[in-house]
Structure 1
Amino acid sequence: MRVGLLTREYPPDVYGGAGVHVEFLARELRPLTDLGVHCWGEGAGGGVVRHRPWPVLDGANDALRTFSVDLSMAAALEDRDLVHSHTWYANLAGHLAKLQFGVPHVMTAHSLEPLRPWKAEQLGGGYALSSWAERTAIESADAVIAVSGAMREDILGCYPSLDPAKVHIVHNGIDTSLYRPDHGTDVLERLGIDTARPYVLFVGRITRQKGVPHLLRAVRDIDPAAQVVLCAGAPDTPEIDQEFRVLFEELSRVREGVHWIPQMLPRPEVIQLLTHAAVFVCPSVYEPLGIVNLEAMACGTPVVASRVGGIPEVVEDGETGVLVSVDEDFETGLAQALDSVLGDAGAARRMGEAGRQRAVGEFGWDAVARRTVRLYEEILKQA
């Protein structure tokens, strides 16, 4: 079975959950299929072809530049039996390949443009184009993979003309042999984090979706003994970047031990940070699943997260962490939940151990890949 996997992010250029998903899914699909990966970037080799936006569009809206990559990808898929796209950045390429070469198109929905109106702040008029590309691809796809049950409900709610039988749930996964506790402290010491004090950890992009401004306000009054470590970079827009910087400066004035790490750290360093955190926090206002919560759980760390999207399918409230409703008291709820975990070391340890067990037992990438290949086989039989 010759499969074309289409994505914006692929190593070494991975900055979000969708990129992590594709990286590990591709690794597990290779022994099961004849896999060709098409992504953004320069060059080719090792079963990976990288495509860049057309130079004539340098300076144009990002959505138009994306479409030029999609055209390049689609033109390179003639030898594939099936194509599988991830995110709106590659969905149009999958749709065009379906039309041009008559091959089935499977797409994984990691998020939905209608539920991310703040993207208009980033893309301007390009948001209308990204929304059009997603709608066109999703309504014409042979199968749509939702990364959680909540995501499946969102897909059918946003696109009611879509046949529910075409929407399949395949959860995100985690490599628990890679994401496992690292009890070294060299990374913490190099970053200036006090190893004698507990810390709250956030890892993610500076976006509206990730709820970073809510977090910066929520942690102002949590236990003063706790440090706050923010692995936060890749701001969506200059406006959200500036808002983050102002809130970070305000937070730094009212409490000690606030650390901002704007650069993307290598995975082993993130794993050490996850391992030693007293609590990991995910304040997202929209999250189809949230791989980063699985990463924290696999490192044995309790999680405080918002009760949105697919997060409750990963984080068991009271068992592997604490869930907080996103309402008018969201920031107060975040602060209270963080303090509850920081204040009970025994309960935090039990939640961390339970989280590791849940990640190992239920979210392995090998199982995700096998479920995906079974779906490919079903679709090809129907073609």
Structure 2
Amino acid sequence: MNKTIALISEHASPLAMLGGVDSGGQNIYVGELARQLATLGYTVDVFTRRDDPKLPIEVQWLPDVRIVHIEAGPPKQLPKETLFQYMDAFTESMEAFMTRQPKRYTLLHANFWMSGYVAMKLKERLGIPFVVTFHALGKVRLMHQRETDKFPVERCDVESQIMQAADGIIAECPQDEADLIQLYQADADKITMVPCGFSPHEFHPIDKAYARMLLDLHPTRKIILQLGRMVPRKGIDTVIQALAQLRGSAIDAQLVIVGGEYEKPHLHADVEYRRLMEMASVLDVADAISFEGRKNREQLKYFYSAADVFVSTPWYEPFGITPLEAMACGTPVIGAKVGGIQYSVANGKTGFLVRPKDPEALARKLELVLKNDDLRIYMQHNAIKRVNECFTWKKVAQQMDEVYRGLTAAQLDNANDDKQVIAGAFQEAADIFRLSADSLTDTVLRAGKMLAKTFAKGGKVLVCGNGGSAAESLHFSAELLGRFELPNRVGLPVISLMADAAMLTAWSNDVGFDDIFAREVEAYGRPGDVLMCLSTSGNSPNILEAMDKAKQLGMVCVALLGNDGGRAAAKGDINLVVPSSSTQRIQELHLHIIHLLCTIVEQKLEDYSAKHQASGLSSLIQAVDLPYQQNGKAKHHAKQKSHIFG
């Protein structure tokens, strides 16, 4: 299969410095996605506008990643709001370059609306399918920026045209997906949610004292970090106002602000810096604020690690990569409850969410985090765990690979090549099995051992799911309540919460479906028991409420999930997240994992039984007999008890 693709990013090149007005998350997104796609066997060309006459047309950035600079407008830096007039020239130059290449491009992946326009025109001319990640939507921007928005008035209409023409649309978070559908009436079947990510090699915890020493920051003061572009919508003024309110709380705090056009901000050249400095002076906190200016990527992990808390309170944010990077360094995040931040930050676990433009609420959360060492340690642990489980660039690329494969499979289907479509589906399934084997083997083994120990200690397992996952939950209970591979053992206490049809229909009809599983967990669950939840999205309300109830009862939560794990990933003690965005592939892997868990449980319980048989009645036999004893069937023949496993 030809795996040559073009990433289009008209104004955001992976080679650009970060932190400027038009340099930020999209530069990182495009560069890291290209890097990780190359490890999956893709050859990637990144097409971006030539904004410096000294730049060569081609730069071999990595062995399988090339940066191609396209002539479109004058070769100098221009505000991105002025670039749309050059996109037809961009299209012409890019088409000329593509037609000279020895291999045909399989797919175009556009980033931002202007790149989407280019991809739409190239599809018309060359017949190459395209997927688009908007990174920001014109209608959302207008809601917040209004008359200060300088993009062309036709932007929103062009975005609608792109959505109609696109073969696939990438939403970066649930809010992004909702905006695409509600504001633009985008076809929901075209949309796949794939988040942004971070690199564990680039961002990881560093000793706080060491980081502060390197950065010449105070060794004991509480440090609040704000990092990103220095533009009004990032809400830096909200952080300064919150800092002023902290002055009465006896917290010795310093606000460190990283980002901007310059290595050191200049009052005469940077309007936003001047505005913020004037505000700080008026609020009498200028002495507690350090403007560090623009920093390179290698320095950022030291700033994240040096901070006690990271703050990101923009008015709106399509996703937001900096909160991921901060959490990867073990720093709690207080973020605005907008866009992707409300998705990536687990409120109360990895940090807190507050309303944008609300310095009072921000100050309260800052005081809570900065005064409570135990809370910061708790959030540090949760933050590192969450981002590494859900938000690495490797996982992002794997999910994007799924999208690309789906589009190429659709192409084959349109060409009526049925055999190739079937072969592609088998290959897709094989790839997901391989990726799952790489990422889930240790977790599956841990989950199986934990289930076996639960049974051995007299505990039970409750299992639930919706739709196809409901059928798989019944399948799991049947295998262990009945038998899987070993023919002569007693039934193990597994209760499928889907089994009581009368309860399900009556409660759902009379009360509601959201707490139907939580109700059954409340009835059957006991401390030490296990709740096993199956959900392809990880966002089903009845699954989430059941997990909350299980936690209240002191139960262990095992979650079989897919995609990025959804909200359930933050609630599970053991998460088995299939690295796929395809519901079918996820359910196929869930069934395979269920069979693996059954195998591990039987093997481990057989091992336990063998160890205890020589001493007569084993604790294991007593444990697996417990349900029968509770029903008045305590009298079993010794022969039966000594042959539970044949």
Query: Normalized against structure 1, the TM-score is what?
Result: 0.89
Q: 2: distance between equivalents of 1:354 and 1:376?
A: 32
Residue 250 of structure 1: which of 272, 276, 279 is its match?
279
- Rg comparison, structure with higher value: 2
1:336 matched residue in structure 2? 364
Q: 1: distance between equivalents of 2:353 and 2:161?
A: 35
SS at match of 1:318: coil
Does the CA contact (< 8 Å) of 2:87 and 2:118 recur in 1? no
Does the CA contact (< 8 Å) of 2:141 and 2:149 recur in 1? no
Q: 2: distance between equivalents of 1:178 and 1:27?
A: 13
Residue 29 of structure 1: which of 15, 26, 37 is its match?
37
2:98 matched residue in structure 1? 77
Aligned in 2, Cα 1:166/1:338: closer, same or farther, shift over 3 Å? same
1:106 and 2:131 correspond: yes
Aligned in 2, Cα 1:318/1:293: closer, same or farther, shift over 3 Å? same
SS at match of 1:127: coil
Cα deviation code 1:267-310 (max 9, x no counterpart):
12111000110100000111122111000000000000011112
Worse-superposed segment, 187-196 or 202-211: 187-196
Worse-superposed segment, 253-262 or 48-57: 48-57
Aligned in 2, Cα 1:130/1:242: closer, same or farther, shift over 3 Å? same
Q: Name the aligned partner's letter for residue 260 of structure 2.
A: G
SS at match of 2:152: helix
Does the CA contact (< 8 Å) of 1:28 and 1:366 recur in 2? yes
1:232 and 2:254 correspond: no
Q: Name the aligned partner's letter for residue 40 of structure 1.
A: R
Worse-superposed segment, 343-352 or 243-252: 243-252
Q: Name the aligned partner's letter for residue 198 of structure 1.
A: K
Q: Name the aligned partner's letter for residue 180 of structure 1.
A: H
1:374 matched residue in structure 2? 402
Q: Could you list the runs of 5+ residues in structure 1 that have no partner in the other structure?
A: none
Worse-superposed segment, 338-347 or 244-253: 244-253
Does the CA contact (< 8 Å) of 2:110 and 2:116 recur in 1? yes
Q: Name the aligned partner's letter for residue 113 of structure 1.
A: G
Aligned in 2, Cα 1:318/1:57: closer, same or farther, shift over 3 Å? closer
Cα deviation code 1:63-114 (max 9, x no counterpart):
3245543443344334312100111242211111111100101001211111
1:93 matched residue in structure 2? 118
Worse-superposed segment, 338-347 or 202-211: 202-211
Residue 200 of structure 1: which of 213, 224, 229 is its match?
224
1:176 and 2:203 correspond: no
The CA deviation at 1:257 is: 2.6
Q: 2: distance between equivalents of 1:188 and 1:278?
A: 11
Q: Name the aligned partner's letter for residue 262 of structure 1.
A: G
SS at match of 1:30: helix
Q: Name the aligned partner's letter for residue 362 of structure 1.
A: C
Aligned in 2, Cα 1:127/1:219: closer, same or farther, shift over 3 Å? farther
Does the CA contact (< 8 Å) of 2:208 and 2:305 recur in 1? no
Higher helix fraction: Structure 1 or Structure 2?
2
Aligned in 2, Cα 1:59/1:163: closer, same or farther, shift over 3 Å? closer
Aligned in 2, Cα 1:59/1:36: closer, same or farther, shift over 3 Å? closer
Does the CA contact (< 8 Å) of 1:10 and 1:39 recur in 2? yes
Aligned in 2, Cα 1:207/1:50: closer, same or farther, shift over 3 Å? same
1:45 matched residue in structure 2? 59
Provide the aligned length of Structure 1 versus Structure 2: 376
After superposition, the CA RMSD in angstroms is: 2.7
The CA deviation at 1:56 is: 9.3
Aligned in 2, Cα 1:156/1:318: closer, same or farther, shift over 3 Å? same
Q: Could you list the runs of 5+ residues in structure 2 that have no partner in the other structure?
A: 61-65, 412-646
Does the CA contact (< 8 Å) of 2:311 and 2:334 recur in 1? yes
Cα deviation code 1:24-59 (max 9, x no counterpart):
110011132222111233321312211243239998
Residue 3 of structure 1: which of 2, 5, 13 is its match?
5
Aligned in 2, Cα 1:58/1:29: closer, same or farther, shift over 3 Å? closer
2:621 matched residue in structure 1? none
Runs of 4+ in 1 over 4 A off after TM superposition: 56-60, 118-123, 184-192
1:298 matched residue in structure 2? 328
Q: Name the aligned partner's letter for residue 22 of structure 1.
A: V
Q: 2: distance between equivalents of 1:188 and 1:52?
A: 44
Q: 1: distance between equivalents of 2:145 and 2:105?
A: 32
Q: 2: distance between equivalents of 1:110 and 1:227?
A: 32
Does the CA contact (< 8 Å) of 1:202 and 1:231 recur in 2? yes
SS at match of 1:284: coil
SS at match of 2:397: helix
Does the CA contact (< 8 Å) of 1:16 and 1:205 recur in 2? yes
The CA deviation at 1:213 is: 2.5
Cα deviation code 1:161-187 (max 9, x no counterpart):
x21100111111111122102237677
Worse-superposed segment, 94-103 or 50-59: 50-59
Q: 1: distance between equivalents of 2:376 and 2:77?
A: 50
Q: 1: distance between equivalents of 2:311 and 2:78?
A: 36
Q: Name the aligned partner's letter for residue 134 of structure 2.
A: A
Q: 1: distance between equivalents of 2:31 and 2:211?
A: 24
Aligned in 2, Cα 1:109/1:54: closer, same or farther, shift over 3 Å? closer
Relative contact order (C-alpha < 8 Å, sep 6+): which is higher?
1
Aligned in 2, Cα 1:52/1:188: closer, same or farther, shift over 3 Å? farther
Does the CA contact (< 8 Å) of 2:254 and 2:288 recur in 1? yes
Q: 2: distance between equivalents of 1:49 and 1:174?
A: 24
